[in-house]
Amino acid sequence: MRFPQSFIEEVKYRNKIEDVIASYVNLRRAGSNYQGLCPFHSEKTPSFTVFPNTETFHCFGCGAGGDVISFTMRAENLEYPDAIEFLAKRAGLAMPEDEGGEKTISRSRYYEMNREAARFFNRCLSLPEAKEARDYLAKRGLSNAAVKRFGLGFAPNSFDALRNHMHKLGYHDEELKTAFLCGKSERTGNYFDYFRGRIIFPIIDHFSNVVGFGGRALGDAKPKYLNSSDTPVFKKSKQLFALNFARNACADSLILCEGYMDVIAVNMAGFPNAVATLGTALTTDQARIMAKYTKKVILSYDSDEAGVAAAKRAIPILTDVGLEVKMLRIEGAKDPDEFIKKYGATRFKTLLDDSQSKLDYLCDSVLHKYNILIPEEKLKAAAELCEMLSGIYSDVEREIYIIRVSEKLSINPQNMKNDVERVMRKKRKEESAEFKRKIVSDTLGYGDRVNRDFVKNARAARAEEAILGILLLRPELMRDIKQGRVALSSSDFLTDFGKRVFDAFMEFEGHFDIGLLAETFTPDEISRIVKMQIDRSKLTKNDLSVLEDHIRTLKSESADKTSSDTLEDIQNLINRKKK
């Protein structure tokens, strides 16, 4: 069920876009608008603009755009209903109810379901059959305080223990399956508990809702860790374990660990600013979440080969969202958990304070790969380091590292600098060529992920975008179309995306609001729609005559397409008859 239009309007009225965005971005006046550094991609020159008059935002760098609702979806990594609830709470508004007295959305039921499951698992940890689980936790040094703080539990080795418990509370099998608490056998059609015979780690979001679970196997069972899959309230790529604790303690830095046990060990040692990804490699969404709470991330991955590889993959992801990255060099232990047990919290604090810069870490990792006493190996190391140093934006920082690396390789710094600049010139040339290719590609519509039909008829697609942009700027013209004074219908549109947007425009009565689209259009699609409006706003004339000119162009292209399709059908029929 949709939110009432009046409620959406009230939410937006109470949450002025410039006020909401100012809590994430340092905005400065630019005429009647505001500008700042985009929170959705790394940039050094502001290209992010807020337009109070139209209650929209747009980044001219990465293309992100929308209204206060779609901004909240991106900034908080929320789905549409959650973003509405987030803004409603911010403004002190109660969520609407439908005629049956139920809330418009049922997400709260999934939160309640997960909370009840977490309580069940926690109680089961005290059962006699959970002795192996308790022994494992004790062996890993987890106190009762740690178990209580993180709400750890145990899933009995049964196919229906949780299921039967949840049935008593009024939950049915299909919603348990949707919440990924139960599975369903394809062969028999029977439902069964998803987590069985495992230690359970509840995953709690930054609103203190239980959104999912991680389960560690006991003994040699495979897989070692089992995590909830995506559900209506859980997206693995958009969550961080223990963020509910870390968000209030990470003003200086966040410690990014590899797994649950590392986070708990670090947290209980007195460092509540530790988080971990959920059994997957770090994602851009997770990096953006961290950037919302801190400016520095200390990578505390395992010291084995897999940990080093994971760190190297994570560094550019974190850097691209504007985070300073430091590397924890763990020696004498394989991970933070083991280090703290062997050397204590004080030594770990020293380790954090002495963490390496990402460039020192990357340079050292290259130098450890090669035997620089052998000329061929030294050349390979120098080439790899030149490639790395060429990516440093700051001239001063680049020069410092050129000198440092040159000393380690016993190479003249000027020669090293010459090679680095040669790599930079090559990259600039390649980037310039790629930029030109992109302009041509974008003009023709190649690689358009939002409007995939653009490339099939670019002239029609451009006419559609002009029409939609004008209608956004001049919503009164929508009434002329609805009342038949302007002849235009969705059948005139050749692209599926243009048709969907036009149908959405025509569906609403009275005042049209972009926020009403966020329920059925993705954030990227919303961005494209806002761009249509901004592109038209740069032009001096957007009246009825201009609209009708673009409609004629579109109808002409549509007629040509229909004629072409008809001729093709006739030819195919002739060919079939010949056969």
Q: Give tens-digit pLDDT for 220-243.
A: 888 899 999 989 889 888 899 999
**Least confident span in 20-29, 210-219, 303-312:** 303-312
The domain containing residue 156 runs over which residues? 107-234
pLDDT of residue 447: 63
What ranges make up the beta strands (E) of 180-331?
Answer: 182-184, 191-193, 198-204, 210-217, 225-227, 254-257, 274-276, 296-300, 324-327
pLDDT of residue 257: 94
pTM (two decimals): 0.74
Residue 463 is classified by DSSP as: H
Residue 257's DSSP bridge partners are 276, 300
- Cα 246 from Cα 264, distance rounded (Å): 11
Cα-atom radius of gyration of the chain, to the nearest Å? 29
Residue 570: pLDDT over 70: no
Residue 405 forms part of a structural domain = yes
Q: Are 319 and 297 in contact (CB under 8 A)?
A: no
Same domain, 459 and 556: yes
Residue 500: pLDDT over 90: yes
pLDDT of residue 139: 93
Residue 67: pLDDT over 70: yes
Residue 428: pLDDT over 80: yes
Same domain, 63 and 172: no
**Least confident span in 17-26, 365-374, 565-574:** 565-574
Q: Which of 338, 361, 384 is the last residue of a domain?
A: 361
Residue 152 forms part of a structural domain = yes
Q: Are 210 and 111 in contact (CB under 8 A)?
A: yes
Section 7-33 average pLDDT: 93
pLDDT of residue 362: 86
Residue 572 forms part of a structural domain = yes
**Percent of the chain topping pLDDT 70:** 92
Residue 101 forms part of a structural domain = no
Note the Cα 331 to chain centre separation in Å.
33
Same domain, 247 and 129: no
Residue 96 forms part of a structural domain = no
pLDDT of residue 555: 92
Backbone phi, psi, residue 210, to 5°: -75, 115
CATH number of the domain at 533, please: 1.10.860
First vs last C-alpha separation in the chain: 53
In terms of Cβ atoms closer than 10 Å to its own Cβ (0-12, 13-18, 19+), residue 33 is middle
Same domain, 571 and 482: yes
Q: Which helix (H) or strand (E) holds 49?
A: strand 48-51
Residue 304: pLDDT over 90: no
What ranges make up the beta strands (E) of 289-357?
Answer: 296-300, 324-327, 356-357
Q: Are 326 and 253 in contact (CB under 8 A)?
A: yes
Same domain, 470 and 573: yes
CATH number of the domain at 261, please: 3.40.1360.10
Residue 51's DSSP bridge partners are 56
Backbone phi, psi, residue 234, to 5°: -140, 125
pLDDT of residue 99: 46
What are the C-alpha distances in Å from 209 to residues 110, 111, 195, 206, 268?
A: 10, 6, 19, 7, 21
Q: Are 193 and 166 in contact (CB under 8 A)?
A: no
Residue 100: pLDDT over 70: no
Residue 448 forms part of a structural domain = no
pLDDT of residue 106: 63
In terms of Cβ atoms closer than 10 Å to its own Cβ (0-12, 13-18, 19+), residue 112 is middle
Same domain, 205 and 117: yes
Section 359-364 average pLDDT: 88
CATH number of the domain at 70, please: 3.90.580.10
Report the DSSP pairing between strands 198-204 and 210-217: antiparallel
Residue 104: pLDDT over 50: no
Report the DSSP pairing between strands 296-300 and 356-357: unpaired
Instruction: Report the SS3 class of residue 423.
Output: helix
Q: Which helix (H) or strand (E) holds 503?
A: helix 496-507
Residues, the chain: 579
Section 98-104 average pLDDT: 47
Residue 96 is classified by DSSP as: P
What are the C-alpha distances in Å from 317 to residues 64, 199, 285, 286, 547?
A: 18, 31, 10, 9, 43
Same domain, 120 and 219: yes
Same domain, 383 and 489: no
What are the C-alpha distances in Å from 203 to residues 140, 151, 229, 277?
A: 20, 9, 12, 11
**Average pLDDT taken over every residue of the chain:** 88
pLDDT in tens, 242-253: 999 999 999 899
Q: Number of structural domains, the chain?
A: 5
Same domain, 213 and 120: yes
Alpha helices by DSSP H, 354-495: 358-369, 375-389, 395-409, 413-444, 458-473, 476-482
Same domain, 472 and 422: no
pLDDT in tens, 370-387: 999 999 999 999 999 999
Same domain, 317 and 253: yes
Burial 490-508 (b: 16+ CB within 10 A, else e): eebbbbebbbbbbebbbee
pLDDT of residue 5: 83
CATH number of the domain at 140, please: 3.90.980.10
Section 502-511 average pLDDT: 82
Contacts of 53 (CB under 8 A, 6+ apart): 32
One-letter amino acid of 545: S
Same domain, 221 and 260: no
pLDDT of residue 102: 45
Q: Which of 192, 208, 234 is the last residue of a domain?
A: 234
Residue 303 forms part of a structural domain = yes
Residue 439 forms part of a structural domain = no
Q: Which of 204, 234, 264 is the last residue of a domain?
A: 234
Please tell me the chain's helix, strand, coil percentages from 3-state DSSP, rounded to the nearest 5. Answer: 55, 10, 35
Kindly report each contact of residues 45-52 with a partner whose C-beta sits within 8 Å and lies 24 or more positions away, as own/partner: 50/17, 50/18, 50/21, 51/534, 52/16, 52/17, 52/18
pLDDT of residue 577: 55
